[in-house]
A and B are shown apart, each in its own frame.
Chain A
Amino acid sequence: MSLSRVGVYVCHCGTNIAANVDVARLAEFARSLPGAVLARDYPYMCSDRGQALIREDVSEQALDRVVVAACSPRMHEPTFRDAVRQAGLNPYMVEMANIREQCAWVHDDRARATEKATRLVASAVARAVLLEPLEERQVDVEPGVVVIGGGIAGLAATLTVAEAGYSAYLVERSGSLGGRVRELDRTYPTLDKVQVVLRELVSRVAAHPNVTILLRSSVTSVDGCVGDFTVEVKTRGANLGEGVDASRDSQTLVVGSVIVATGFDPFDPRRKPELGYGQYPSVITTLELEQRLAAGDLGDNGAAPRRVAFLQCVGSRDVQVGNPYCSRVCCMVVAKQARQLRGLMPDAEITVYYSDVRTFGKGAEEFYDETRAQGVLYRRASVSEIVRSQNRVRLVGEDTLLSRAIGVEVDLVVLATGMEAGADSASLSAMLRLQRSPDGFFLEAHPKLRPVDTATAGVYLAGCCQGPKGIADTIAHAKAAASSALIPLLRGSVQADAATAIVNPALCANCGLCVEECPYGAPALDPFRGVATVNALLCQGCGACAVVCPAKAISLQHATACQVLAQVDALMA
């Protein structure tokens, strides 16, 4: 039936796989599969020695296809593609059977897990014999980066790109740089003045010859792909001065990478009306207290509050408002603000009402301990309501350690409001083809291995648009995003994945369903030939077009109908 020579390699992954799957039996089974000429099991296929094993077999046994039964292809497919490439085989002649994440890790019955692994390997071999060599294309990279958002993340990313010697275009919606950080007084846990830090960063960015700052500007469209993005930026005319022609309102930037640093929106506590925010002037948010602290004026006309309550987790860890996640910064913000208040009002009674305290990070737990040592009270409680009580407000709730009702009159309540995805996330995600996680923030390509990458090659995430972060984490994230964004620029050319969709013009009825369906804008209808065509550089190989095409005139290379059907047949056999 088939003249292919497939080598099958079963990885033990130490004991990750071997503990739950009989790897020796699996290799023996693999030898019996049609097309397989050899099968081996080895402790770590991804190790140098494991890869060498594959390379040697490819040359000595004249293998033309390789199946690696190991971890997820997202983990090591590139590794094994490189290995066979070095051995002179086309890198697309590798197929992986995921017997770790999808088998050994999720089953505990060794016999049945082994049985499942045999199906997965049979399926992979059935597909492998149908694999076809594909040619990757090299694309030149435009030496510049657009950074969307001029907050602390955007600034840090811009500076990193500029310092590396590349053009950075910083697009900021408002009239000034700094974003949310402009509203902050001091950092935690070091109590530095935020504005001093910010000013230094802004001036370094503004003074850098590689940086172009576009204020009052929004990105209106992003086309193209990694290495060659065309970014349309619209600038609101206000500041352009007289005699400026309207065409200057919008400009086109051509860059190799895009960094999204669009930040967050603070939770609006009016969505929890029981807390009385907006109703009682003595109920404020941590952001408002931050501004009062910066101004050195606590409000209340000099009559400093004698009793202050901080409420943790307002709009965070709250399924009722749709935010089940932790906003990560509020615990330390409260510890810091409570400490600052302690210094300003040594006699005041300051209590933090919390459900859990999460002071992770360098120096953070120590800071929290010191805050308590300075006499700030922490009370585990659930506050259900804030009501007026003459000139003060009354906190009503439950002390969840003592299981006792709380009714406390206070002069000032500070709500530790959390972070939410920006209101414009939906439109940005459509424009930039970014996925969002259930919390509404942009989704990174992998939570651990690719924390700043996105599903769209060449688009990177920096800062709180990906999820809540403090200043230090934001800057680390932004510099990581900038470093990743620089990779294609530094290489000068990118390899376009060859596993893209192609059109069989003889079958195409030009119905345009693929054009509508593609989230990346890769297919287009050719008006002269009356068929669809696919821009291979835009195609991300998701296969949505191939699914929707009724005639299967579009097929996804490396996942053709024949390959997938063979795979399914082998699974079901």
Chain B
Amino acid sequence: MRAVIPVSNGDTLGAVRDFLRALITEEVVDAVLVPMETTDGAVAPALVADPELLEAANPLAPVLGLNAAPVVGHVSLRTPRARIGVVLRSCEMRALVELVKLRQADLADLVTIGVDCLGTYDVPVYNALRDSKGGGALDSDALLASAETGDLAPQEGYAFRDGCQMCEKPHAEGTDITLELFGADLRVGIPVSLPDDVAVRLGLVAAALDSGEEHGRRVKVVERLVRARTQVRDARFAEILARLADRRLGRIFASCVRCHNCMTVCPICCCRTCLFRTPTFEHEPMQYVSWAERKGACRLPADTLLFHLTRLNHMALSCVGCGVCTSSCPVQLPVGSVFRAIGHRLQGTFDYVPGRDTEEPLPMVTFRENEWSEIGEE
């Protein structure tokens, strides 16, 4: 059903908070996993059981420090478990779908709540922006106002996260409940699509006849936004592929400090202990010397490129383009762009769209008798 969450006094965020609170008080869910504001304005996901505390919930805050999909796994993977509402941006939902395929999360007792994403800042940028406004939570009215036309723009002098700039899937899809911000005047109401039984419990009624028109407006806004973002994305791909052709992967990652941040924050990287954190790559001293002798010199720490190649091998097909890897790289390497550019081609090869459908099998474990016959000896 499509309905409208009423907004009073132009307080969109307040309406979202009321909506989330009602999910708990009307016993749709036992708790809600949602980005929360701390008293000094930082934003981080938290599992909220006390509806009163949702006064601090802010899924509209334009900041993304980590992709919440893996923590959804923490609360959903094993039984016994509670019914949990999880509020996710589109990139988080896509990552969650991939994690379900990798058996790191289970949708059975979850109510997924998608929110159209208006763009996010890196945490330091967000903090700087808050400081420039005198601290506390950031007022995002201007950004919310831009949802109606889709002319999303960061605050002047600041930039959205690298991943967001090239994100061609900012709209929420495939969630149980969807807060459809695009194309709507959010000062008046928030269009929402949700299961009929949930709507009944929350006392929401099907939107009036003009909801079709409103929905049409969202579709148009999304189309335009996707077109523009796709252009940015393709330009970024072309740029990174040219660099790859010219300077190759090894040079792009030459200044990698092996902090493993990209691996730690990557929502798809789900190994308990990464192979690169085991003694597998602790070689004998003479091994390093023999490499140095053979090649003239040997970069240390060794196996840096192997680390990125291995991650590419494991992740690229499932990369949903959230870009938290780039966001968390201390030496500002274009990790996400490399993964997306290579992943995009690889995904195209297998006609695979990560995050689309939990039923879509992972190409890595899909056996086809005749596959990639152009590769190898033939």
Footprint of B on A, CB under 8 Å?
Answer: 1, 426, 506-513, 516-517, 519, 525, 530, 548, 550-553, 561-562, 565, 569, 572-573
Contact = CB atoms under 8 A, between A and B. Distances in A.
A517 B272 CA distance: 20
A511 B103 contact: yes
B280 A562 contact: yes
A517 B365 contact: yes
B290 interface: yes
B108 interface: no
B280 A569 contact: no
21 contacts: A506-B273, A507-B271, A507-B273, A507-B278, A509-B104, A509-B272, A511-B104, A511-B270, A512-B103, A513-B362, A516-B361, A516-B362, A517-B364, A517-B365, A525-B103, A530-B78, A548-B365, A551-B271, A562-B280, A569-B290, A573-B290
Nearest to B272: A509
Contact of A572 (B275, B278, B294, B367): B294
B128 interface: no
A512 B272 contact: no
Contacts of A513: 102, 362, 364-365
Given A516-B365, A572-B294, A1 B272 contact: no
Contacts of A569: 287, 290
Interface string B326-364: 000000000000000000000000000000000001101
A36 B269 CA distance: 42
B284 A1 contact: yes
B209 interface: no
Interface of B: 78, 102-104, 270-275, 278, 280, 284, 286-287, 290, 294, 314, 361-362, 364-365, 367, 369
Given A516-B365, A562-B280, A508 B294 contact: no
A506 B361 CA distance: 26
Given A507-B278, A551-B274, 14 more contacts: A1-B284, A1-B286, A506-B273, A508-B272, A510-B103, A511-B102, A511-B104, A512-B102, A513-B362, A525-B103, A530-B78, A553-B271, A565-B280, A569-B290
Nearest to B268: A550
A506 B272 contact: yes
A123 to B, nearest CB: 14
A561 B280 CA distance: 8
Given A511-B102, A512-B103, A550 B280 contact: no
B102 A552 contact: no
A551 B315 CA distance: 12
A460 to B, nearest CB: 23
B297 to A, nearest CB: 16
Nearest to A513: B365
Contacts of A519: 367
B312 to A, nearest CB: 12
A561 B287 CA distance: 16
Contacts of B78: 530
Contact of A573 (B280, B284, B294): B294
A437 to B, nearest CB: 12
B316 to A, nearest CB: 12
A551 B272 contact: yes
Contact of A507 (B104, B272, B364, B365): B272
Given A572-B294, A573-B290, A573-B294, A552 B365 contact: no
A525 B286 CA distance: 40
B294 to A, nearest CB: 7
Contacts of A517: 364-365
A137 B275 CA distance: 30
Interface centre among A506, A530, A552 (most CB of B within 10 A): A552
A174 B242 CA distance: 62
Nearest to B99: A511
Nearest to A551: B271
A561 B327 CA distance: 33
Contacts of B102: 509, 511-513
Nearest to A1: B284
A511 to B, nearest CB: 4
A37 to B, nearest CB: 20
A552 B104 contact: no
Nearest to B293: A573
A79 to B, nearest CB: 31
B97 to A, nearest CB: 14
Contacts of B314: 550
Contacts of B294: 572-573
A552 B280 contact: yes
B304 to A, nearest CB: 16
A509 B365 contact: no
Nearest to B365: A516
B271 A509 contact: yes
A552 B271 CA distance: 9
Contacts of A562: 280
A542 B365 CA distance: 15
B61 to A, nearest CB: 31
A523 to B, nearest CB: 12
Contacts of B272: 506-509, 551, 553
A10 to B, nearest CB: 24
Given A561-B280, A572-B294, A573-B294, A551 B103 contact: no
Contacts of A551: 271-275
Given A510-B103, A511-B104, A548 B284 contact: no
Nearest to A566: B287
A573 B272 CA distance: 33
A493 to B, nearest CB: 33
A509 B314 CA distance: 14
A61 to B, nearest CB: 26
A572 B298 CA distance: 14
A412 to B, nearest CB: 40
Contacts of B369: 426
A1 B289 CA distance: 14
Nearest to A552: B275
B271 A550 contact: yes
B224 to A, nearest CB: 38
Nearest to A572: B294
Nearest to B315: A550
A565 B306 CA distance: 13
Contacts of B362: 513, 516
Contacts of B278: 507, 552
A552 B367 CA distance: 20
A75 B287 CA distance: 33
B344 to A, nearest CB: 21
Nearest to B287: A569
A281 B90 CA distance: 66
Interface centre among B272, B273, B287 (most CB of A within 10 A): B272
A200 to B, nearest CB: 41
A298 to B, nearest CB: 44
A312 B278 CA distance: 64
B172 to A, nearest CB: 26
B364 A548 contact: yes
Nearest to A573: B290
A426 B362 CA distance: 22
Contacts of A552: 275, 278, 280
A109 to B, nearest CB: 23
B303 to A, nearest CB: 11
Contacts of B104: 509, 511
Contacts of B275: 550-552
Contacts of A572: 294
B291 to A, nearest CB: 8
Please name the 10 residue pairs, one residue from A and one from B, whose CB atoms are nearest each other, closest first: A516-B365, A551-B271, A511-B102, A550-B314, A512-B103, A552-B275, A509-B272, A517-B365, A550-B271, A507-B273
A527 to B, nearest CB: 10
